[in-house]
Structure 1
Amino acid sequence: MKKIILLFSLLLFNTVIAQKKMFTNKGIIIFDASVPLFEEIKAKNESVTCILNTNTGEIASLVLMRGFRFKIALMEEHFNENYIESDKYPKATFEGIIQGFNINIIGTSPKEFKMNGKLELHGKSKEINTTVKLRKVNEALEIIADFDVNTDDFNIEIPQILTKKLSKTVNIKTNFLVK
């Protein structure tokens, strides 16, 4: 019986060691909800967490909504209080998988992969299917994505008076350098 437990423990230990995770807490997300001819509605968060399992291609990220910075402080206040309701929904998460991920085929030139997963924002979830670009940068792996989301999918209400100044389609750009 002791041999079986020892063998099982060794197999479990090897499996845990074989899983390689790369991580950052300095990822960047930029969102842009601007409309042509009106004031720019754009913000940046440079404290985003991202974890990548290099054995499976599973990826997860977390962003605190109050970390987004706007050019105009009043926009930041409206974003947190009126639209995102950061006190009620303090974070957004993404959990997904990079299809066909193989760290051995990634070089210093960007390589495209399909990525799909679930974005949770403002208490709602939405499936996201996009392309992600990966490339090696020194000892790290750069992960870049660019996709659009619709505010209606996350029950983010835009007052009628602002519908011409604020886009319901929001562009999201991410850049993670995981090590």
Structure 2
Amino acid sequence: MKKIALLVLVALYSFTPVQEKKLTKTGTIIFEASVPSFEEVKGKNTAVTCVLNTSNGEIAALALMKGFRFKIALMEEHFNENYIESSKYPKATFKGKIENFDVSKITTTSDDYTIKGKLELHGKSKDIITIAKIKKIGNDIEVKTTFPVNVSDFGIEIPSVVSKKVSKKVIIDCNFLLK
């Protein structure tokens, strides 16, 4: 009886379509909140995880806030302690879907795709719509996108002392090579 049950399970699983997933743990996110004529406010995280389900276009990314590096150590400290509050909100996540995604149509030439999803950061959530450039590199898929976010949408306060030196609109630049 156990052998029959096992054979039935194996048969069922063999006919179930496999969900193809591509992922990276070395994706890059760069954010910039610089204002002209003042010190560059720019952080880079090169340990971002991103997963793409190639069968349906669902995409998700996770960035640990303490993974962002700055040219100036004091800026990194202020980012983690005063703005993002990394100990209280240790990560940012994005979950969304690439519209009209068909992995068989991805070529070595970048094409524009719309991604719609939800960005969760600093305990707040915001719907995001962005255009991504997607192409094949060998068997891998490259996804690049840039979009703005307002710090006020995520409850991040910029102290008045530095309010003229830090932009209230932050540009987020993402680059993922999914294997």
TM-score higher than 0.5:
yes
1:72-94: CA deviations, max 9, x gaps?
A: 00000000000000000000000
Taking the TM superposition and a 5 Å limit, the aligned residue runs for 1:24-103 are: 24-103=24-103
Per-residue deviation, 1:139: 1.7
Q: Secondary structure at the match of 1:119?
A: strand
Matches of 1:124 and 1:65, distance apart in 2 = 14
Structure 2 unmatched runs, 5+: none
Q: Does 1:114 align with 2:122?
A: no
1:1-31: CA deviations, max 9, x gaps?
A: x98996676445533x521000100000000
> Share of identical aligned residues, percent?
56
Whichever residue aligns with residue 109 of structure 1, its letter is T
Matches of 2:145 and 2:12, distance apart in 1 = 36
Matches of 2:27 and 2:100, distance apart in 1 = 23
1:19-70: CA deviations, max 9, x gaps?
A: 1000100000000000011110001000000000000000000000000000
Matches of 1:101 and 1:36, distance apart in 2 = 38
Q: CA RMSD in A?
A: 1.8
Matches of 2:77 and 2:149, distance apart in 1 = 21
Flag as ranges the 4+ runs of structure 1 deviating above 2 A: 2-15
Matches of 1:157 and 1:56, distance apart in 2 = 37
The count of residues paired between Structure 1 and Structure 2 equals 178
Question: 2:15 maps to what in 1?
Answer: 14
